[in-house]
């Protein structure tokens, strides 16, 4: 069959498909002769009803089916990024690497941005795998000739919209050497096949290494196959394994029929977020789509969405089949019983006991020997050792079990949000027993309390709030009760292993009163010394210190009495997405708590709290650096725009450039010179907008980098 006579799979609009639940439609067909006539006399319709084609005789839009069973009669390219080129310039550059081809502007093309498509007829059919190879080679050749193609065309089932007249329309038919023979790029195909084979071998080796490391994790104490999987199988590796196409910092889903990459990673790279509707059944739904981790991809692509089967398979893959036949891999770890009371110990006087009472107790000590002897702990080391807690964290790498930790921050910076996220992550990983966690919410309205109570019910920890009775028959809880209740836990030896979160600290004591703060600090110390853990949230002063850092509010007693203390402040915020990055900075530490930690979250006002909570991720060093560079660029936006405008007007010498930018921006000479130096270089991704070109006689000229956007 000749290319002109072959009937290709076709339809009208994005949703044309027999599988469309609401409006199923059989595919139609179209051939190259019809497409040739459409070039000169195109329809003019909305894209929702515009005709498209897949240049294969197999009537299917499923990428895998076309790759495995399709017979293709043409290649094609989609040029959305024109880089300032006209349609004629695109055609001229394509002519340098192609034989016969058809070219036309898209329906959304304008005179300023002449977006185009190119169709390359083949002399004979090729199978789907060869087609995919040829598509990549075609795109590579165009790229080498200065034309930037959309790589989505490298998917076998990607649709090509046919000629459709918009506000601006041009077309071109190149006929010189005839349709392209299938073996015209035989050398490139062989090289691409070898590259794919090498990439597949490397991918399998990475998977085997990850599997071995995950197995080792399970053998050395990790109790969750999910955690072991996510620790060793990176999200990027699994996106690649399951056919997601990477385009810069985003991925195009293999389930999507669009050309727009809708999958991105969280700053720490541990979670993916997809805006593709076709990914809706993978991971956890959010307002903006869905999100998940590497294991969620494993569940969907390897086990058709069956979570239980995926957990079982992962457990067996990591060598748990023989060791844990009596326990399901998805079961949570078994929690140990309460430790036995420490024999021979008396809790001592309660808070609030009078001086007379203390005097009376002191007088009851033995008459012989030193009166301190009866309080000596010697001989109780064994019992006390039983109550020692493992040195493990309850919140990220900041709050250690068995310590008192305080976090200081301004209102609405994210201390409660991130704190909840970190606690829940520890519960999910099995590192924290939710039955031991008591969250006292004393700083929320009713709506906020209800939502956080639902979180507590979902994850199994206990929520308390002043003024609410809870499930008991006694009086409602009051903040003033906490010291008495702590004394009772100490006296009954039930403090060990318990975690109390105080949100916020000012509802339990007066932070400005040294005596009251010190007294409450002693209460917490008593609880901690008997194996308890406290996490407290408090506020900072209105004004920052001389070092431009936040300063904790109140007297020094709370910090003095704590084992660990952090301040929390905004580190950077993307003005376009409102993705906020915050920094925890340690100001006191006992143990291995990190010196600083960075987290980001969606700070938009309109999103539901559950989506904001789901957006919290830890930020790595590379993303921190980028966020800080972006923040600096935003602060310097006025000066950057002035400098760029001057450069574009031909003012490139340093002295003249500084003078002109000063006049344009109203900024000082020192500020302009500083911005000029800070943002110089060729790396636009590091917010460098211009570079220095050395001319004749060692003259220095500032030139704009070619791909600057947003300024």
pLDDT band with cut points at 50, 70 and 90 for residue 360: very low
DSSP 252: E
Cβ neighbours around 556 below 10 Å, total: 11
Pairwise CA distance, residues 274 & 297, whole Å: 12
Q: For the range 463-471, what are the long-range contacts, defined as Cβ-Cβ under 8 Å and sequence gap of 24 or more? A: 463/439, 464/438, 464/439, 464/440, 465/440, 465/441, 466/440, 466/442, 466/507
pLDDT band with cut points at 50, 70 and 90 for residue 346: very low
Question: Mean pLDDT lowest for which of 185-189, 317-321, 518-522?
Answer: 317-321
Domain ranges (residues) in the chain = 8-184, 198-317, 385-621, 636-704
Residues of the chain by 3-state class (helix, strand, coil), percent to 5: 40, 20, 40
pLDDT at 15: 81
Question: Mean pLDDT lowest for which of 87-96, 237-246, 287-296?
Answer: 287-296
Q: Which residues of 690-711 are buried (b: 16+ CB within 10 A; e: fewer)?
A: beeeeeeeeeebbeebeeeeee
Pairwise CA distance, residues 275 & 268, whole Å: 19
Q: Is the peptide bond before 504 cis (omega within 30 degrees of 0)?
A: yes
Pairwise CA distance, residues 197 & 162, whole Å: 34
List C-alpha distances in Å: 44 to 36, 403, 518.
16, 70, 78
pLDDT at 183: 85
Candidate CATH numbers 3.40.50, 3.90.1280, 3.90.580, 1.20.1070; the one for domain 198-317: 3.90.580
Which fold, 8-184? DNA primase, PRIM domain (3.90.920)
pLDDT at 382: 59
Q: Which residues contact 475 (CB under 8 A, 6 or more apart)?
A: 469
pLDDT band with cut points at 50, 70 and 90 for residue 710: low
Q: DSSP readout, 273-310?
A: EE--GGGTTSSEEETTEEEE-HHHHHHHHHHTT-HHHH
pLDDT tops 90 at residue 37:
yes
**What sign has the CA pseudo-torsion 180, 181, 187, 193?**
positive
Residue 342: beta bridge partners? none
pLDDT at 290: 83
Q: Which residues of 112-139 are buried (b: 16+ CB within 10 A; e: fewer)?
A: ebbbbbbbbbbbebbbbebbbbbbbbbb
Q: Rounded mean pLDDT of 217-223?
A: 82
pLDDT at 711: 61
Residue 211 has, within 13 A of its CA and on its CB side, a CA count of 14
Pairwise CA distance, residues 563 & 389, whole Å: 15
Q: Does domain 636-704 have CATH number 1.10.10?
A: yes
Question: Mean pLDDT lowest for which of 127-131, 282-286, 389-393?
Answer: 389-393
Pairwise CA distance, residues 646 & 652, whole Å: 7
Tokens of 139: 């795109």
Do residues 103 and 171 make contact, with C-beta atoms less than 8 angstroms apart? yes
pLDDT tops 90 at residue 106:
yes
Q: Which among 53, 60, 261, 71 has a CA at the least distance from the CA of 160?
A: 53
Do residues 467 and 477 make contact, with C-beta atoms less than 8 angstroms apart? yes
Q: Which residues contact 99 (CB under 8 A, 6 or more apart)?
A: 120, 176, 177, 178, 179, 180, 184
Pairwise CA distance, residues 178 & 134, whole Å: 17
What three-state secondary structure class fits 582?
strand
pLDDT tops 70 at residue 342:
no
pLDDT at 19: 76
DSSP 460: T
pLDDT tops 50 at residue 55:
yes
Burial of 673 from C-beta contacts in 10 A (0-12 / 13-18 / 19+)? middle
Question: Mean pLDDT lowest for which of 15-29, 197-211, 249-263, 365-379?
Answer: 365-379
Which of the two residues, 331 and 440, has the higher pLDDT score? 440
Beta strand spans in 18-177 (E): 28-30, 51-54, 71-79, 101-105, 116-127, 160-161, 171-174
Do residues 226 and 292 make contact, with C-beta atoms less than 8 angstroms apart? no
Beta strand spans in 33-82 (E): 51-54, 71-79
Do residues 573 and 580 make contact, with C-beta atoms less than 8 angstroms apart? yes
Do residues 69 and 9 make contact, with C-beta atoms less than 8 angstroms apart? no
Pairwise CA distance, residues 135 & 153, whole Å: 7
Q: How many residues appear in the chain?
A: 711
Q: Rounded mean pLDDT of 323-333?
A: 40
Q: What mean pLDDT, rounded, does the chain reach?
A: 84
What three-state secondary structure class fits 527?
helix
pLDDT at 371: 61
pLDDT tops 90 at residue 381:
no
pLDDT tops 90 at residue 297:
yes
List C-alpha distances in Å: 205 to 199, 212, 236, 547.
10, 11, 15, 50
pLDDT band with cut points at 50, 70 and 90 for residue 373: low
pLDDT tops 50 at residue 348:
no
pLDDT tops 80 at residue 56:
yes
Q: Rounded mean pLDDT of 98-123?
A: 94
Pairwise CA distance, residues 267 & 251, whole Å: 15
pLDDT at 384: 53
Pairwise CA distance, residues 76 & 102, whole Å: 9
pLDDT band with cut points at 50, 70 and 90 for residue 286: low
pLDDT band with cut points at 50, 70 and 90 for residue 287: low
State the pTM of this model.
0.44
Task: Quote the longest CA-to-CA distance of the chain.
Answer: 117
pLDDT at 188: 86
Do residues 552 and 538 make contact, with C-beta atoms less than 8 angstroms apart? yes
pLDDT at 336: 25
Pairwise CA distance, residues 467 & 608, whole Å: 26
Most confident range (mean pLDDT) of 379-388, 496-505, 518-527 is 496-505
Question: Mean pLDDT lowest for which of 77-91, 409-423, 545-559?
Answer: 545-559
pLDDT band with cut points at 50, 70 and 90 for residue 709: low
Q: At what angle do helices 128-144 and 186-219 cross, to 10 degrees?
A: 100
pLDDT at 349: 36
Parallel/antiparallel/unpaired status of strands 533-538 and 499-503 = parallel
Taking only the tens place, the pLDDT of each residue in 136-149 is: 999 999 999 999 99
> Strand 71-79's sheet: what is its strand order?
71-79, 116-127, 101-105, 171-174
Pairwise CA distance, residues 665 & 661, whole Å: 6
Pairwise CA distance, residues 3 & 100, whole Å: 13
Question: Mean pLDDT lowest for which of 19-23, 91-95, 348-352, 643-647?
Answer: 348-352
Q: DSSP readout, 218-263?
A: HHTT---HHHHHHHHS-HHHHHHHTTPEEETTEEE-TT--SSS--E
Q: Rounded mean pLDDT of 621-642?
A: 83
Pairwise CA distance, residues 71 & 129, whole Å: 10
For 115-224, where are the alpha helices, taking DSSP H only?
A: 128-144, 186-219
Rounded to 5 degrees, what are φ and ψ at 176?
A: -145, -55
pLDDT tops 90 at residue 128:
yes
Tokens of 7: 């009937």
Homologous superfamily, domain 385-621: P-loop containing nucleotide triphosphate hydrolases (3.40.50.300)
Tokens of 685: 């991704």
Parallel/antiparallel/unpaired status of strands 564-573 and 404-409 = parallel
């Amino acid at each position: 069959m000749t290319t002109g006579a072959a009937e290709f799979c076709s339809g009208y609009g994005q949703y044309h498909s027999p599988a469309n639940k609401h409006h199923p439609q059989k595919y139609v067909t179209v051939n190259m002769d019809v497409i040739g006539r459409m070039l000169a006399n195109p329809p003019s319709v909305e894209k929702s009803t515009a005709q498209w084609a897949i240049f294969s005789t197999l009537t299917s839009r499923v990428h895998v089916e076309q790759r495995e069973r399709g017979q293709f009669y043409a290649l094609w390219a989609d040029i959305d990024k024109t880089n300032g080129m006209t349609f004629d310039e695109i055609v001229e550059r394509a002519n340098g690497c192609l034989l016969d081809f058809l070219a036309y502007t898209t329906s959304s093309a304008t005179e300023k941005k002449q977006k185009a498509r190119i169709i390359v007829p083949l002399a004979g059919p090729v199978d789907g795998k060869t087609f995919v190879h040829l598509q990549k080679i075609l795109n590579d050749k165009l790229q080498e000739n200065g034309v930037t193609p959309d790589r989505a065309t490298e998917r076998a089932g990607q649709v090509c919209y046919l000629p459709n007249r918009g506000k601006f329309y041009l077309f071109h038919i190149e006929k010189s050497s005839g349709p392209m023979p299938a073996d015209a790029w035989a050398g490139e195909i062989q090289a691409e096949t070898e590259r794919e084979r090498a990439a597949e071998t490397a991918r399998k080796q990475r998977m085997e290494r990850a599997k071995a490391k995950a197995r080792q994790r399970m053998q050395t104490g990790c109790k969750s196959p999910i955690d072991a999987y996510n620790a060793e199988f990176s999200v990027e590796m699994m996106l690649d394994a399951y056919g997601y196409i990477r385009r810069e910092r985003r991925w195009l889903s293999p389930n999507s029929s669009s050309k727009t990459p809708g999958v991105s990673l969280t700053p720490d790279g541990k979670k993916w977020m997809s805006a593709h509707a076709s990914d809706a059944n993978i991971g956890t739904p959010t307002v903006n789509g869905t999100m998940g981790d590497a294991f969620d991809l494993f569940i969907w692509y390897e086990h058709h969405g069956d979570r239980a089967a995926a957990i079982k398979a992962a457990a067996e893959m990591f060598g748990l089949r023989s060791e844990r036949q009596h326990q399901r891999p998805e079961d949570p770890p078994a929690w140990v019983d309460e430790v036995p009371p420490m024999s021979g110990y008396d809790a001592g006087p309660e808070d609030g006991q009078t001086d007379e009472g203390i005097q009376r107790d002191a007088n009851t000590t033995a008459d012989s020997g030193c009166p301190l002897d009866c309080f000596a702990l010697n001989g109780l080391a064994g019992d006390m050792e039983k109550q020692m807690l493992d040195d493990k964290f309850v919140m990220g790498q900041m709050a250690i079990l068995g310590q008192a930790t305080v976090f200081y921050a301004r209102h609405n910076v994210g201390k409660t949000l991130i704190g909840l996220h970190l606690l829940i992550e520890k519960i999910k990983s099995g590192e924290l027993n939710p039955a031991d966690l008591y969250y006292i919410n004393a700083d929320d309205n009713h709506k906020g309390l209800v939502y956080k109570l639902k979180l507590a019910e979902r994850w199994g920890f206990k929520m308390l709030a002043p003024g609410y009775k809870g499930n008991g028959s006694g009086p409602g809880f009051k903040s003033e009760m906490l010291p008495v209740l702590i004394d009772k836990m100490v006296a009954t030896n039930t403090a060990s292993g318990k975690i109390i979160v105080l949100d916020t600290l000012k509802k339990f004591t007066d932070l400005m009163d040294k005596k009251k703060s010190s007294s409450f600090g002693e209460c917490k110390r008593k609880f901690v010394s008997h194996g308890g853990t406290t996490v407290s949230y408090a506020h900072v002063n209105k004004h920052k210190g001389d070092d431009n850092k936040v300063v904790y509010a109140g007297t020094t007693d709370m910090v003095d009495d704590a084992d660990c203390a952090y301040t929390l402040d905004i580190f950077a915020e993307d003005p376009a997405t409102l993705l906020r990055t915050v920094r925890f900075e340690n100001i006191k530490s006992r143990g291995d708590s990190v010196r600083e930690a960075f987290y980001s979250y969606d700070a938009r006002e309109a999103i539901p709290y559950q989506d904001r909570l789901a957006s919290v991720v830890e930020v790595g060093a590379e993303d921190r650096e980028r966020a800080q560079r972006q923040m600096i660029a935003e602060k310097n936006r006025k000066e950057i725009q002035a400098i760029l405008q001057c450069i574009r007007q031909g003012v490139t010498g340093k002295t003249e450039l500084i003078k002109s930018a000063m006049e344009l921006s109203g900024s000082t000479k020192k500020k302009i010179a500083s911005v000029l130096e800070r943002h110089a270089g060729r790396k636009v991704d590091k917010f460098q907008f211009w570079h220095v070109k050395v001319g004749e006689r060692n003259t220095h000229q500032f030139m704009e980098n070619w791909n600057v956007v947003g300024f």
